[in-house]
Chain A
Amino acid sequence: MAAPRRRRRIALALIATTMTLGTIAAGCGGDDEGGSTGSGGDLLGKVLVDGSSTVGPLTSAAAEDFTGENGGVDVSVRTSGTGGGFEVFCKGETDISNASREIKDEEAKVCADAGIEYEELRIASDGITVVTKKGGVVGDNLNLTLDQLKAIWSKGSKINDWSQIPGGGFPAAKLTLAGADSQSGTYDFFNETVLGEDAAGEVLSPRQDYSASADDNVTVKAVTGSAQGLGYFGYTYYEENADSLAAIALDGVAPSAETITDGSYPLSRPLYIYVSKASLAKPEVLAFTKYYVENAVTLAEELQFVPAPQDSIDADLQKLAAYE
């Protein structure tokens, strides 16, 4: 009986030790490690951001630099997607909502009903890039018109080979498609711009037989892994994989930082942050937003985003000046 009892005691001692260590760790950790590092600045508070995962890294970088100078402010960034972000933004749960498209009418209505007013600030640009695999039988310097793209992606489209693209004159090669899934802001934007709306003003939905993913890296893999596939995703993802992917010019305009910033590339889109007016009354939110917009171009270049044009940045700063 002696041995098992000793064992039981050891077990109890083990548990007790674990708990004690936990408590000590808790006690030590409590005081000095709660806040963020850095010092200076007399602003205090917390800025809550949610929304597009495309814009997220840019906001995170701005937050990191800003809190480096203002140690009393903490910023947290969630990435629930543009739609998910507006949902909580219009409930008043967040101060800033990242968005890879403009707010939709029905979302704006929810905000208005809840009494949430906001400023829309453009902070960068993005171009949905249509790509195929580099070095394939169809060549690398391709051009498609938006009508051809529409014919390929429309619901019920039977185009499964490059030679079937109307007016294309491409050689025969199997055409597999990859793109964003319906959770993604990229999906909304692509369908709206390429497929357009029906008579009732509803955005047309695309064909269903393509490999859809919310993760652009998965789409990249789908295109590089296929013989001669076609896919679309954010410009950054193309830039990162430019050695294996060939971007397709649309209506004669190839995607590049310049054509996306100035909007001449047909699938270029602005990236926004939406800031609640109630939050702009708080000095820490105003200071952060101002810092963000002022540094938007440098940050965009550093993080491989396409910057917003200078005049839209100036317009943003104009808007913010009203809250000083």
Chain B
Amino acid sequence: MATSTPTSADIPAARPLARKRARPGDQIFHAAVFSALLIALAALVWLLISVVAKGATALDWDFLSSQTSSRASRAGFLNALKGSVVLMIITIAVAVPLGFAAATYLEKFAPLSRDELRVITRRRRRALELRRAAGELTGPRLLASRLGIALSAVWARIGPPLNTFVEINLSNLAAVPSIIYGLLGLALFVQIMGISKSLLAGGLTLAILVLPIIIIASREAIRAVPRSIEQGAMALGASRWQAVRSHVLPAALPGMLTGTILAMSRAIGETAPLVVVGGVAFGTAVPSINPLNAANEDLFAMPLQIYTWVDQPQEDTWGPLAAAGIIVLLVTLVVMNLLAIWLRNRFTRRW
């Protein structure tokens, strides 16, 4: 075997794997792993069955279209539904641009070392001198360019350690319990910035909660695009930003969107941070779906409403409502996850 080069016909013979016989250790391990899966699935199935059995009777159009109430016979899910929609709009509007930009920076611009940054600065300085000699740059524009170059020289010094610091903390942030984000949101948005305890404060809190998740997922997606694509573009004279914008980001977008949707399905189920930021148990005003009004709307959300209903003493009357609410929330989650899977399968490229 060592003397001749193996051909395709030789390979099966050289690896006598077909002779494997099941050993008892293997079988026990197999059974153990499989039953672990079964236990996890059984818990899920039991949850689904009990929730559907309890909530199916309460779930109808009236439930979805009427306001919440302190009488179980009249109570509906409308406030919670609309509140959650507004929360999602605000969260996406804030977290997605920030998250995508941060991921692009961290993946494509931050890894530049001090030496690379210095080379770039030197190159820019040389170009500036050339243009100045040609008389193209004068007065304030010259001053502005000089300032820019001075800043990039400073950045070459402090940038890389700062990036390392951000990098380390980012992974830590994704693991912080959500109630801590609630306290952060309460302190930052409500107490310092003076936003009322409203859908706006809740949406902003959820945005900072999912930001690390979006950044991490987007970075993975950007990293999956081969460097050769970007290098090819740069070799043809594109600047780094041009290469990233026109080649890397479009290719990474499906992955980034998938990560975003998964982050959103985390945000839509969060209860604890919203309780801390000032979620209401009851309110007579149905929130408007217009996110520009969010600063004046009571903080309603699907999980908050479920929590309030479960907490009531009359379990036989409120229980079905809570279960119906859980069904709506679960369906929303499943739809969002399906969308994420579909996006991934449909648009992801194999390189």
Interface residues of A (CB under 8 A from B): 4, 7-8, 10-11, 15, 22, 25-30, 33-37, 46, 53, 56-61, 63-64, 67, 73-79, 215-217, 234, 236-237, 239-240, 302-304
Contact = CB atoms under 8 A, between A and B. Distances in A.
A29 B290 contact: yes
B313 A63 contact: no
Contacts of A303: 70
Interface in B240-287: 250, 253-254, 257, 278-287
26 contacts: A8-B250, A8-B253, A11-B257, A11-B343, A22-B89, A25-B85, A25-B289, A27-B290, A29-B82, A34-B285, A34-B286, A36-B285, A36-B286, A57-B70, A60-B70, A64-B69, A75-B284, A76-B282, A76-B283, A76-B284, A76-B298, A78-B197, A78-B281, A217-B310, A239-B313, A304-B314
Contacts of B314: 236, 240, 304
Contacts of B254: 11
A10 B313 CA distance: 51
A11 B253 contact: yes
Contact of B282 (A7, A63, A234, A302): A63
Contacts of B298: 74, 76
A76 B124 CA distance: 59
B315 A7 contact: no
Contact of A215 (B71, B281, B311): B311
B284 A26 contact: no
B293 A34 contact: yes
A37 B288 CA distance: 13
A7 B279 CA distance: 41
Interface of B: 67, 69-71, 82, 85, 89, 197, 250, 253-254, 257, 278-293, 298, 308, 310-316, 343, 346-347, 349
A120 to B, nearest CB: 22
Nearest to A58: B70
Given A7-B347, A76-B298, A60 B282 contact: yes
Contacts of B312: 57
Contact of B285 (A11, A76, A234, A304): A76
A134 to B, nearest CB: 17
A41 to B, nearest CB: 13
Contacts of B89: 22, 26
A29 B289 contact: yes
Nearest to A62: B70
Contacts of A61: 70-71
A78 B280 contact: yes
Nearest to B300: A76
Given A7-B346, A77-B281, A37 B67 contact: yes
A53 B71 contact: no
B254 to A, nearest CB: 6
B351 to A, nearest CB: 11
Given A10-B346, A34-B288, A60-B282, 7 more contacts: A26-B289, A33-B82, A36-B284, A56-B282, A64-B69, A79-B308, A304-B313
B283 A74 contact: yes
Contacts of B197: 78
B311 A53 contact: yes
Contacts of A302: 71
B296 to A, nearest CB: 8
A56 B281 contact: yes
